[in-house]
Amino acid sequence: MRPVRKIIGALIIIFLGLPTLFAIIWAVGLTKAAVAPEFVSDLPREIISEVPDMADEIFKEAQDKHMITDENTRAWFQAAAEAGVTPKEFLEKIGVLGWLEDELSQSLKEVGEILRGEIKPRTVVFDLRPLKKSLLSGDVDLYLLEILKNLPPCDEDGIRRWQQASLRTLGQHSLPPCQPDLDIAKSVLEYKRIEAVDDIPDEIEIFEDVHFLPFGVSKTITLLSYFLFLIPAVFILGGALIAATSPASFLRWSGIPVFIGGLPALIIAFFAKHLSLLAIKFAPYSYSESWSTELHDLILEKTSWIPMTIIDRLFSPVIAIAGIVCLVGFVLFVLSFTVRGSSRR
C-alpha cells in the first residue's frame, strides 16, 4: 500500500497543490500591492507634486538642438518659449495646477485615509469638471494662438497639411510647425481640444458600496486574501497525509512541496521586477509617428522614476510573500528531523 499512497499523494501535490500555490502567491501579492495606500494614494500625490517641475524641465531641454535634433519638434517648443509662459505658469493660469494640488490631492488623501482605516469608508468623488472647464477656457485659445504667431508662414505643403487637419484627414501625423490661416488654425485646435476633453468623464466615484471594515479597506482585503492559501494548503497537506508514513515524513512531504512551490514564484517575480526596471531604464519607447523618438527619450528620462516606482511596489509584495512561503517550507523540512514517532504501514 505504501507505494500506491505515495503515488497518489505525489500526484495530488504536483498537479493540484503546486500550481495553486504558485497562483495564490501571485494573486495575494498583487492584491496586497493594489490596495496599498502607498500605491493607490501616496504615489499619485507624489507624482502630482512633481509634474509642474518635470514639465518645465522637459519644455526647456526640448528646445536644445543637442537633445532634440528633429527641427519640426524643436520648432514647436521654441515657438511656445517665445510666448513667454512656462508650462508650470500656464497650468497655474488656467487653473489645472490648483485643481491638481488642491481638489485632486485632497481626494487622494481621503482615499489613503480610508485604505489605512483612519476614517470610515465612504464614497470619494473625483470631480473632473473643473479640469475640463480649465482645458476649454479662453486662456488656452489665446496661448495656442500666441504660439502660432511665433511660427514662420506655411509653405504649400504646410497649408495642405493644416487643411487636412481641418477636414479630420491628417490622421496621426503631427501638425506642421508653421503659421496657417488663423480661421483654419482655430478650427483645428478647437476640434482637437474638444475631442480630448470629451474623453474625460465628469466624475469618478470609488468606495461607493464599501461598508465599515474593522481594520481598514487595505488591511481587511489583504487579510482576507491570505485565506486563499487554504486552497493549496488543503491539496499539499492532504497529499502529504496520504503519502506520509510517519510524522517526520509528513513534515517532509509538506515542507519540500511548499518550498518548491514558492521558489519559482520568488525567482520569476525577482527577475520580472529587475528586468522590467532595466527595460525602462535602457529601452526607449515610441508610440506614434507624430512624436519624435528623441522627445520620447527625453520624457522617459524625466519621468522614468514613475513606472520604476510602480513596478517596484507591484512586484515587491509578491517577492516578500514568495520568500515567506519558501521559509515556511524550509522550516517544515528542518523540523522533520526533530520529530519522533512510529511509522505506519
Lowest mean pLDDT among 129-138, 184-193, 270-279, 326-335: 184-193
- Rounded CA-CA distance 311/142 in Å is 40
Question: What does the pLDDT read at residue 288?
Answer: 46
pLDDT tens for each residue of 94-143: 999 999 999 999 999 999 998 888 888 888 999 999 999 999 888 998 89
The residue that leads in pLDDT, 293 or 192, is 192
Backbone phi, then psi, for 173, in 5-degree steps? Answer: -75, 155
Cβ neighbors of 288 (< 8 A, separation 6 or more) are 172
In the chain, what percentage of residues exceed pLDDT 70? Answer: 92
- The residues with which 203 forms a beta bridge, in sequence order, are 127
Rounded mean pLDDT, 299-319: 92
**Mean pLDDT over all residues of the chain?**
88
Question: Residue 69 — very low, low, confident or very high, per pLDDT cuts 50/70/90?
Answer: confident
Question: Residue 7 — very low, low, confident or very high, per pLDDT cuts 50/70/90?
Answer: very high
Strand, coil or helix: 324: helix
From the number of C-beta atoms within 10 Å of its C-beta (0-12, 13-18, 19+), residue 142 rates as exposed
Nearest to 190 by CA among 150, 138, 148: 138
Give helix 18-34 / helix 305-335 axis angle, nearest 10°.
Answer: 140
> Domain coordinates of the chain in residue numbers?
2-128+201-330
pLDDT tens for each residue of 216-242: 788 888 999 999 999 999 999 999 999
- In the numeric block, the cell 519621468 is attached to 303
From the number of C-beta atoms within 10 Å of its C-beta (0-12, 13-18, 19+), residue 168 rates as exposed
Question: Residue 169 — very low, low, confident or very high, per pLDDT cuts 50/70/90?
Answer: low
Question: Residue 274 — very low, low, confident or very high, per pLDDT cuts 50/70/90?
Answer: very high
Residue 281 has pLDDT above 80, yes or no: no
- Rounded CA-CA distance 3/7 in Å is 6
Rounded mean pLDDT, 7-12: 94
